[in-house]
Each structure stands twice: as structure tokens, then as C-alpha cells.
Amino acid sequence: MQPASGNNSNANAGAGQTPAPAPAPAPAPAAGNANSGAAAAGNLQTFTETLGGVEPPVVTTLANGQFQVDGNAAFANKQNALIRSW
């Protein structure tokens, strides 16, 4: 048996302690084009500029865990989907 000490190394809050407050909600997405400014909600492509006057396609997560590039096939991993959308 270990001797009692003044420090409580248990990660759980002890009796009488107040739990930490909940995090603030995420800000609402900006209106307009899905690629203007910051990436719109749901669009994983953060590149917001145009290349040769062409905007990168939107990349979204599918319900089955794959990543969809607008106008292309679904990809198994996010990195490949983002590379394809350039």
C-alpha cells in the first residue's frame, strides 16, 4: 500500500470539483462560392485561389469514410483526394 500524499494524480475530477466548461460552437460558414475565402463547411480543400482561372473542385467526406472530389471518383484516403483536386 502506498502512503497518502497531498497530490491527487487521478485524472477524474474529485468530489466537489466543477467540470471544465464545454467548448464554444464552431463559427458559421461564409456564404458564397464553396472555394472563396476559407474552405466552406464540408469542403476539405483549403486552397482558395484559382490556377489558370480554374477553381479546385470541392472535396467532401462520404458516409462510408471515403473522400469525394467533385466530378471524380471517390478516394480511400483524404491525401489522395486533395492531391487529385489540385
Tens-place pLDDT, residues 26-56: 554 444 344 443 455 689 999 989 999 999 9
Is 34 within a domain? no
Q: pTM to 2 decimals? A: 0.51
Is 24 within a domain? no
Q: What distances in angstroms separate CA 77 from CA 17, 25, 35, 63, 81, one per listed residue?
A: 42, 27, 21, 13, 7
Strand partners, 61: 67
pLDDT on residue 36: 42
Is 54 within a domain? yes
Is 59 within a domain? yes
- The number of domains in the chain is 1
Domain residues for 68?
A: 49-86
